[in-house]
Amino acid sequence: MTLISLVRHGQTDWNLAKRIQGSSDIPLNATGRAQAEATGRALAGGSFDAIYASPLSRALDTARIIAGHVGLGEPRVLDAVAERRYGDAEGLTGAEILERWPEDEPVPGRESRDDVVARALPALLELGERHVGEHVIVVSHGGVIGSIARHVTGHARPGPGEIIPNGSVHRFRYRDGALALDRFNLGPEDHDLLTASVL
């Protein structure tokens, strides 16, 4: 078995303004760096064997901060876990998107959740095979984490109204070619952040 902790990057100014980022490379703000530090400190009591990150700077810089706390070196870039591409909607708020493209109208260039799963899941399964018996951290994005969680739980998580906060940790376990959700939406304040996996 392999444990894979998916971590959402820290906050950016676009997160704060509720603007869709997608593939736009928006850096961490001061709050985001503090969130990454808090997550890193919370994970510091655990044992981790490798750390990977999306190539987007908000994820890669979050991973670098966490790596410093957990005793790992420079994160390895994993292109497949970059954020969902939102096409023409990037930089817009939810209200602006609905104004331009009403419900059920496709947004030009927006990647489907199925396409996100099609690229991200094989990469995570490959990590599971590469790190058998280990625990790895992968710093990614809300759109990717949500898509993977929906896929492996049959849309049970995230539940209605459930968000994926910046700096949150979502632990999965890999076994026999499959990924399963172990813990969802853990934050630095959660006492079970480093507790044993439910096997």
Q: Which residues are the active-site residues?
A: 9, 83
Q: Is 119 annotated in some ligand binding site? A: no
User: Is 85 marked as a binding-site residue?
Assistant: yes
Residue 8 is labelled as binding a ligand: yes
Any binding-site annotation on 182? no
Sign of CA dihedral 152, 153, 155, 161: negative
What distance in Å separates the CA atoms of residue 164 and residue 7, rounded to the nearest whole number? 10
35 labelled binding-site residue? no
Contact between 75 and 53 (Cβ < 8 Å): yes
Pairing mode of beta strands 169-175, 2-8: antiparallel
Handedness of CA 184, 190, 194, 196 (dihedral sign): negative
Nearest to 49 by CA among 121, 137, 130: 137
Q: Tell whether 10 is in a known binding site.
A: yes
Q: Does 62 carry a binding-site annotation?
A: no
Question: Is 21 annotated for ligand binding?
Answer: no
Binding site members: 8-15, 58, 83-86
- Annotated binding residues for substrate, written as ranges, equal 8-15, 58, 83-86
